[in-house]
Chain A
Amino acid sequence: MKKRIFTLCLALIMAAGTITGCGSNKTKETEKTSLKGTGIQSEDKKVKEELVFVNYRDIRDLNPHLYAGEMYAQDMLYDTLVTITKDGYEGGLAESWDISEDGKVYTFHIRKGVYFSDGEICDANAIKANFDAIIQNKERHTWLEMMNLLVGVEAPDEKTFVIKLSQPYYPLLTELGVTRPFAMISPKAMIDGGTKDGVKEYIGTGPYVLKEFETDKYAVFEVNEKYWGNKPAIKKITVKVIPDNQTRILALEKGEIDLIYGKNMIDADAISKYTDSKDVSVAMSDATSTRHLVLNTTNDILSDTNVRKALQQATDKKAISEGIFYGLEEPADYLYAKSIPYCNVDLKPYEYNLEVANQLLDEAGWTKKNSEVREKDGKKLELDLLYNSDSVTEKSIAELLQSEYKEIGVQINITGQEEQSYRDNMKAGNFDIVFNICWGTPYDPQSSLSAMTAPVYGDYAAQQGLENKAEIDDAIEKILVSTDETKRQELYKYVLTSLHQDAVYIPLTYERNKAIFSSELEGVTFTQSQYEVPFYRMNFK
């Protein structure tokens, strides 16, 4: 008995000892950091040149030539040769450029007096060193058509940089202008002249430099004193990591963070809650990409254009827009919004009209007999709708459509699958109807159309049943190598009109980029690339 009590006490004392022991160590360590923490906060209140931003994960690997880092952070550190704006291309590291008559040689005139934040000069030689590093890892970048067409790069002198292609390729400037992989890092930061196995430091020419980085906790960016452009008003940006949606909003309410930005960072509920708030402002971008349904034309039932058209006319996009998105996402009439380059094509949208839809199905031979569901030759008009179960909104839309299509006698079975298998099935063409979202700017329309010609996404599989599939593919290929602007527009018109008339895609709503932020912050805008955050345009009141 005595022995037992003794052992028990010993165990208790040991447990208590370790706990209190740990406790006291921790106090010392954390006091130090908390002092630093409060320091940052109090400075925040005095000089409003410091912004606290939030993301659901940390910045990860900011190697500009690979794809594992957060794009907004890469965009803060590095510059590209050209910048994509609403009105076309603007000079970046290249002040101007010439394109040869045949469209195969691009000569860039490099901006003078641009230095990397480590003091290295960013001239044509540095840019050539970057391209060499990117080309070393060519396979990884072949999704950009220009990598397949690239013949070589040259730096004849320090102000001139030349790219030679085997064929003309008009989206070249767009591909050079997206955040990666064609962003420039200091050649000194490369490892043996390469970047594919990592870099020594994240040194660029961009408006900010990375000062401090604690994995999974925070990252601190400060203004790059050597930046060649106008220095931003926000001098310091701390990016905190908060994975939970609700906690982020609570932190914003408390004033611990100033800005939440991005499509997947904010839900429609939060937007509608803060629309009339005094302390928190809301900003929404123009349409960035289109939510749509893809109809599989190889399916027996859906191979009939009339059935596809009937589904188009039975889709109440307004109900989806208002009922599910509180009007934050506008109803979509076309696969690509008219604001997307080359997509302002005159097309007649399919209007919501159940009468027409019923009529089309009658014409196609699908008739209502005894049951609610239409039949033809003893077969029911029954279709599967696949959605990504990780997406809450897709499920709600699927249920809404299920009840709507029932009204015209079409039975929809909805299946949710987690993202990976949803994508696997989409790619393999294992679907009747599937949810999809366009790639968005700046990849639309050229890159996403180009992906339709190869079996990499669901589009290729879904379009196989089209009679004019070969012609559409041919036109898409011609678009990419065209040098004549009018001809290119003609070809786009042909492709977009064909896809619209074939009724392969049912556009639902236009997705928009969103931000909610402290009302003291001004200049929260959106760029052409939906993954960038233009901190350099922001300032505090």
Chain B
Amino acid sequence: MKAYIFKRILTTIPLLLCVSFLCFVFINLIPSDPAEVALRVRQTPVITEEAIEEVREELRLNDPYFVRYIRWLGDCLTLDFGVSYTNPSRTVLGEISRCLPATVWLAGASLLFVIILSLPIGFLCAVYQNSWFDKLMRALIFMTTAMPAYWIGLLLIWLVSIQWDLLPTSGSGSIRHMILPAFTVSLTYISTYIRLIRNNMLENMKEDYVLYAKVRGLKQKNILVRHILKNSLHTCIVAIGMSIPQLIAGTIVVENVFAWPGLGKLCIESIFNRDYPVIQIYVLLIGTLFVIFNLLFDIIQYLADPRLRGER
């Protein structure tokens, strides 16, 4: 078992190297001169050849491509991600560690919404299959999946903040500020999980063990909660494992609509400003998160499921 885990961890190393190389290559394929971009970003009104040369020197852009990649990789390993072009007084590490907590909070709150809402709704939809409740929920799921987060966010601001005057429109600082953005992010996932739970439960209801449980005279409630629901959650947990990095990466649009000072907002701002070092690290971070969570949940699944271990 240890050997398996060790092997899995080893295989992620070339994968991570690939991710880092792609990050570097893609950013450097953009056909603008990073030195000129940096000058423009710093709002230097007239960009002269001398100024460009000076910035090239400052950013060490004159070295060959591969040398720069190796140096960048080495710097990354020591957590030295360089300096933001837009704000030369801020380091990329500082920017990421400033924004990451806000995004983790938002993703956490969204996850909470997902669990609190999709569990009971999915459960009820399965139990009262084809009832008016089930049909209404399915219609709602269909709608929320089809609507883009940007639009839902604005509609929610208009309805909840302006018409009902219940919550602030945007910004951060309190739980009240977090409700709307977290709910907006969670909507897509809620619909996915409701469907997942509902379908899994319906599948499980057809299983033999349910029939035996009924024969044994167990209460219907017990069968539903203790047996069917529990068995249906298995796939959900694996899915949630991959949803966590997705949630962190998926807050981009919502963070901008709600002025939430997290990674997504940093990313969009960096893209608009061509702040290459920040974009590079953002992509690297999200890529690494996916790889790590994939690894983690593979191992958890391996531990949890004897069939995968080949044990009897």
Residue contact A143 to B230, C-beta cutoff 8 Å: no
**A142 at interface by CB-CB < 8 Å:** yes
- Chain A positions within 8 Å of B234 at CB level: 8
Residue contact A4 to B305, C-beta cutoff 8 Å: yes
Bound-state CA distance A243–B37 (Å) is 21
Q: Pick the residue among A36, A66, A216, A251 that contacts B170 (CB under 8 A).
A: A251
Interface of chain A residues 1 through 60 with chain B (CB within 8 A) = 3-5, 7-9, 11-12, 15-16, 19, 22-23, 26-27, 30-31, 33-34, 36-37, 57, 60
- Chain B positions within 8 Å of A218 at CB level: 171
Residue contact A8 to B173, C-beta cutoff 8 Å: no
- Chain A positions within 8 Å of B174 at CB level: 30-31, 33-34, 37
Bound-state CA distance A22–B175 (Å) is 12
A421 to chain B, nearest CB (A): 6
Interface of chain A residues 156 through 183 with chain B (CB within 8 A) = none
Q: Which interface residue of B36, B44, B45 has the most chain A CB atoms within 10 A?
A: B45
- Chain A positions within 8 Å of B168 at CB level: 256
Q: What's the tally of chain B residues with a CB closer than 8 Å to chain A?
A: 65
- Chain B positions within 8 Å of A253 at CB level: 162
Bound-state CA distance A37–B268 (Å) is 26
**A270 at interface by CB-CB < 8 Å:** no
- Chain A positions within 8 Å of B161 at CB level: 250, 254
Residue contact A250 to B162, C-beta cutoff 8 Å: yes
A475 to chain B, nearest CB (A): 20
**A230 at interface by CB-CB < 8 Å:** no
- Chain A positions within 8 Å of B162 at CB level: 250, 253-254
Residue contact B31 to A421, C-beta cutoff 8 Å: yes
Residue contact A11 to B237, C-beta cutoff 8 Å: yes
Residue contact B259 to A143, C-beta cutoff 8 Å: no
Q: Pick the residue among B42, B98, B157, B261 that contacts A241 (CB under 8 A).
A: B261
- Chain A positions within 8 Å of B47 at CB level: 143, 456
Q: Map CB proximity to A onto B138-170 as digits: 1 under 8 Å, 0 otherwise.
A: 000000000000000010011001100100111
Bound-state CA distance A32–B104 (Å) is 20
Q: Pick the residue among B37, B43, B304 that contacts A68 (CB under 8 A).
A: B43
Bound-state CA distance A66–B265 (Å) is 25
Residue contact B87 to A60, C-beta cutoff 8 Å: yes
Residue contact A420 to B37, C-beta cutoff 8 Å: yes
Which of chain B's residues has its CB closest to A439's CB? Answer: B45
**B298 at interface by CB-CB < 8 Å:** no
Which of chain B's residues has its CB closest to A451's CB? Answer: B46
| Contacts A4-B306, A11-B237, A11-B300; A243 near B169 (Cβ below 8 A) | no
- Chain B positions within 8 Å of A132 at CB level: none
Q: Pick the residue among A12, A198, A217 that contacts B173 (CB under 8 A).
A: A217
Bound-state CA distance A420–B86 (Å) is 15
**B127 at interface by CB-CB < 8 Å:** no
Residue contact B108 to A247, C-beta cutoff 8 Å: no
A139 to chain B, nearest CB (A): 6
- Chain B positions within 8 Å of A139 at CB level: 50-51, 54
| Contacts A19-B112, A140-B51, A254-B161; A247 near B46 (Cβ below 8 A) | no
Q: Which residues of A contact B (CB under 8 A)?
A: 3-5, 7-9, 11-12, 15-16, 19, 22-23, 26-27, 30-31, 33-34, 36-37, 57, 60-61, 63, 66-68, 139-140, 142-143, 198, 215-218, 240-244, 246-247, 250-251, 253-254, 256, 420-421, 423-424, 439, 443, 447, 451, 454, 456
9 tightest A-B CB contacts, nearest first: A34-B174, A143-B46, A216-B261, A420-B32, A7-B304, A242-B259, A67-B43, A251-B169, A33-B173
Q: Known contacts A33-B173, A139-B50; can you find 11 more A-B pairs with CB under 8 A?
A: A12-B237, A30-B178, A34-B173, A67-B42, A68-B88, A68-B89, A143-B48, A242-B259, A244-B257, A254-B169, A424-B32
